[in-house]
Each structure stands twice: as C-alpha cells, then as structure tokens.
Chains A and B, each alone.
Chain A
C-alpha cells in the first residue's frame, strides 16, 4: 500500500454547542493515500460535505470541530496536524497543500472579478516571490490544461458556461499543484455529458500532476468507475470502506448494498432496481445502536442496542476492507 498523505483520525463535527448540538460527523477515521482517488458516498445529510469542510477548517458557524485530528504528510517533510495549525500557517496550508472544488460550480467564482484576477490572487498569496509574468504564464498554462483557452482569462464568470466555470475552478484548484484535492460534488450542477468530460479530464490531470483526490458525491455509480477506494457514510459515520471493485462486487454493509441496488448495471444479468426504504435519519434524534437499523432488512436485536465498530470483517481476512455491521461474518476481528 502507498504512503498516506492525509489521515483523518476520530474526527467529530457538531453543529451548535452544548445540549442543542447536533453531531453531524462522528468518529470518522479515513486515510487518503498518495496518488489515489478516494470516493466518499452517502445520502444527503450523511455528513460527507461537513467532513470535507471540517478537514479544511472551513466550517461555517455554528459548525464546531469537537474532536479528532487530521494529519497531513507533506512530501519529504514531517507530518503535522492541520487542526493544530495557527491561522497564518493554516492560510499557507490551504490551497497550496489541499485545495477544494466546491459543489456550486455557478457560485464559486466571484461575479465581479475577472477569471484572471481570481486565479492570480491565489498565486500571489502563496508565492509572492513570483514575477507577475510568471504568475500569468502559470495561470494560462493551467487553464489550457483544463481545456479553457487563454483568452478567457479576461472573461467574467457570467460570460462562461457552467461547465467552463467548473473547469476554471478545477484549474484554479490545481494551479499551486497541491498534494490533495477535495472535490465536493464537483459535477452535480452539470449535465451528464459535461460530467463525463470533466471527470475524464480529471483522471488525465491526475496522471500528469500526481495529486490525491477525496471525491465526495451521492452518485455511487460514478465512484465505482472513477475511484480507487470507496468509503460509504451513513448518519455521520463511515459504515464501510473497500476497494471500488470489491465494494461493487461484494458489498458487506446492507446500506452499501441498498445504494448499489438503486442504480442499474450496464453489464451482467438484468436485476430488479430497489431503493432503500425509509428516509435518512434525523441527526437530532439518531436511532440507538446502528443508525441504519430502522431501515435495514437484516436488522436484529443487537443492532438497536450497540453501535457497530468499523473494522476488518471476520469473514474476509482482507486488511483493505472495513465494515461496521453486526451481521454474522461481518463483525470485526478481535
């Protein structure tokens, strides 16, 4: 296995303080390795975006990081905890080491500034020693990489289409050649054709620039094809993680199974499409025990009393897989 680049350990995020607090992310431990695409899937409200914001310390109030650490391993340097950085260290860390492509392709660019202004100010903030010609050259090169011609540098965001804007955002995210790019549903606002184009481009760019991606989406079918590993989130917890192919062929958690059954396969025998009955849990009143048990077709007594722990399942002695479920054969070893 490759070396880790970002280790999220026992991460907790609350919205609000004290008794009123809603726990949106609970005890998440997740490792992103160098050069891999890690997919993070889950329903709306499962805490996946909150996790992304939390990891970069961008949570808007009333979001509070209530525990855990995020260890970043810079190439050829000592690892450090992002949560312990001072404000100025955090500013230097952001974008240069970990950049983010946000959900709203339409609103991520400031409407009153030119594309060039918004690309150049980030380079200036992080590499002030660079001459302005070098900055412009870098920005133009990056735009070319994402398929935007250099003369669009002087365009305003409203003069670009949605797909172009998201390409600009991706170009901007890569302009400092960060180690980690977090993508929070980067293609949600786009049509499927544009989605494919952008993802294909991303794969290509990753081979060239060698960054790791934490890809957040509710579209599991997209992840199966595109990512190396997948982590499934439910009710603020990771319930399963495995290599994409393993998860697709042989998912262990009933929730992952439900997600996989809710979109059609392109190849193989025809099968019935089935959704997951019920609705996502209310974070203010989480079910006891396993959060999924009220909707789980296999639930039994133990599920409603004890919270299952994420661990390597007994039945598959594969260190790359982890699941949190009480069903026979899936209980963690030890």
Chain B
C-alpha cells in the first residue's frame, strides 16, 4: 500500500511537470496563436476584437506569466482548455470529448485484441517450440516491418472503394447522426474494420515474439521441471507455471501500449481520415491551432501517465516479489 501511494505521488509530480511544460512551451515559441488567427481573418478585425482574443486565449499581455500560470491551472480543473481556432469558436474540450471515444474504441479494442491474440500465440509457439508455430514468427515480423502508413494505403487501394464493403475513410456513413442505434453502430463497425485489421497486423508480431521468447526462457527454469515432475497436466504446467511467469514483461508492455493508444494513432487516423484524436492533432498542426494541440498533448500525457500507473499496479498484483511488505 505504501508502495502504491509512493507511485501515485510520483505520478502526480510527473503530471504537474508535464502540465507546466505544456503551459510554457507554446509561450516560448516565437509568434503567438492570436497572430495566426488574425492572419486567418486577413486583417478584418478591430483592435478591440484582437485584444479580447488575447484575453480569450489566456495570452493577455497585461497579465504576468505567473498569474497566467495560476489561471491556466484553474482552467484545467474546470475542464476549460480554451477555444479551438480550426473549429472556432468550439471549446477544445468539446472537440476532444467528441473524438476521444472514437480513438479509444478503435485503437483500444484493437490493442487489447492484438495483445490477447499475440500473447496466446506466443505462449503456444514458445511452449511447442520447433513446431510449425515457429513459422508464424518470420511471417508476422515481416508484416510488422511494413511501415504502417504504407500498409494502410495499400489496404485502402486494394480493399476499399466505392463499390467495396470496406469504406476508405471516416468513422461512419456521412448521412448518419451519431446515436446508439443499430444502423449507426453497424456503420461505425464497418468503418473501423479496415483500420483495426491493419493495426492488428502491424502490432501483433511484437506480442508473439516477446511472449514466445519469454516462454522459451521460462521453460528452462527449474520450477518448470519440478512442475512436470509433480505430474501436473501439460496444460496446467503451461498456463499456471510457464505462461503465468512469462507474462510479466508482456503485461507491463501492454500497459505502456495503452498509453500510446491516444498518442500513437496519428498515422492510422490520418490514413483512414478517422475522426479520432490523432486526426484532431493532424488538423491542429496543419492550421496552427495551438489550444487544440495543447489539449491533445495534455490528453496524451495524461493517458501515458495513467497507463504507467496501471502497469505498476498490474505488476504489483502479478508479481509478489515487487511487493515490499512481509
């Protein structure tokens, strides 16, 4: 318990540092977002409007850096991340609130599926090493070495099209209104299949490879021989002795990859024009939308931190040696 509190304190500190950096970096970048917004409106703005924009973006020239910093924290706790330029005047939090579920549903489920499939195959391949299952390794490694955007483009070119089952872009049929009905969900699933499959193909081999190698290492441990000598069933030895121990590094890898769900989807969402948070970031960068970028970075940072915390907790639960008490 003490260990857990220490970890939480550490992550709170890291979160503070990340948010602080997130606050300062845009303010040290030459030029400011308001200037780029003014450019967007091509000078057709009054001085008052410009001044109110500065106040609106928290770039009030009259306020000191310190009071801006305090205000920034207040805004974060209120969930106010400023207004987006690209979708002016929609608040950033609203945009993120719309796109985050798409990313989490698509990449979250795919990452989980990839982990489960890859780990199970890795367990089997490691346990029966030398069997045909070892043939999986070069194949999946080959597939995962293909650059993701190319794989995605290839999938779109070959499989998607106007008369194909797979749509080439978007998260759902353009005419539909997002709601919890069968038609919309069906359309969302249909749109997510192609990105999901390409993510799966490019990520599954990592899980297979690491799990297989850990299985091979663990299989030569003395306690595995003891488990065999005890006359336990093959299945029990494989699952409860070998895989249980080999799983540990993979679980922390999985928790870390949860953190990259939000951050790592940039390419997927760009290639498939998927309405997720990575696509937001892409749009934000394209139109110098600083508040949106800041918001996306904040979400990415937080998700990585939370995933790390989950990894720590999972390790604590799975490996008794990391628990200090006793």
Contact = CB atoms under 8 A, between A and B. Distances in A.
Given A60-B220, A110-B241, A159-B326, A121 B232 contact: yes
Nearest to A93: B231
B47 interface: no
B228 A58 contact: yes
A92 interface: yes
Given A112-B245, A155-B326, A158-B321, A99 B229 contact: yes
Contacts of B248: 112
A156 interface: yes
B2 to A, nearest CB: 17
Which secondary structure characterizes the binding site on chain A? Answer: loop
B295 to A, nearest CB: 41
Nearest to B247: A112
Contacts of A155: 326
Contacts of A113: 240, 244
B236 A125 contact: yes
Interface in B213-256: 220-223, 225-233, 236, 240-241, 244-245, 248
Contact of B233 (A91, A100, A108, A112): A91
Interface string A298-318: 000000000000000000000
Given A107-B222, A110-B223, A155-B326, A122 B318 contact: no
A94 B245 contact: no
A97 B221 CA distance: 24
A35 B233 CA distance: 29
Contacts of B174: none
A271 to B, nearest CB: 39
A95 B223 CA distance: 14
A109 interface: yes
B286 interface: no
B223 A108 contact: yes
A56 B321 CA distance: 32
A92 B231 CA distance: 6
A56 B229 contact: yes
B178 to A, nearest CB: 45
Given A111-B320, A112-B245, A158-B320, A94 B222 contact: no
Interface in B53-105: none
Contact of B232 (A58, A102, A112, A122): A122
Given A155-B326, A159-B326, A96 B244 contact: no
Interface in A15-37: none
B319 interface: yes
Contacts of B223: 107-111
Interface in B279-326: 318-321, 326
A156 B231 contact: no
Which secondary structure characterizes the binding site on chain B? Answer: helix
A281 B240 CA distance: 40
A60 B319 contact: no
Nearest to B226: A108
Interface residues of B, number: 24
B326 to A, nearest CB: 5
Contact of A107 (B221, B236, B319): B221
Nearest to B241: A110
Nearest to B129: A61
B226 A126 contact: no
Interface string B197-208: 000000000000
A126 B227 contact: no
A114 B323 CA distance: 13
A126 B231 contact: yes
B252 to A, nearest CB: 14
B231 A102 contact: no
A104 interface: yes
Interface in A105-147: 107-114, 121-122, 125-126
A125 B225 contact: no
Contacts of B326: 155-156, 159
Contacts of A104: 222
A104 B225 CA distance: 11
Nearest to B222: A107
B321 A91 contact: no
Interface in B178-196: none
B231 A94 contact: yes
B318 A125 contact: no
Contacts of B227: 110
A111 B321 contact: yes
A125 B321 contact: no
B222 A108 contact: yes
Contacts of A99: 229-230
Given A107-B223, A112-B318, A158-B321, A91 B241 contact: no
Contacts of B220: 60
Interface in A23-61: 56, 58, 60
Nearest to A111: B321
Given A104-B222, A112-B244, A112-B245, A94 B320 contact: no
B322 to A, nearest CB: 10
Nearest to B225: A58
Given A114-B320, A121-B230, A172-B230, 4 more contacts: A56-B229, A110-B244, A156-B321, A158-B321
13 contacts: A91-B232, A99-B230, A107-B222, A107-B223, A110-B245, A111-B223, A111-B319, A122-B231, A125-B230, A125-B232, A155-B326, A156-B321, A159-B326
- Nearest 8 pairs between A and B by C-beta? A94-B231, A107-B222, A156-B320, A110-B223, A91-B231, A122-B230, A104-B222, A95-B231
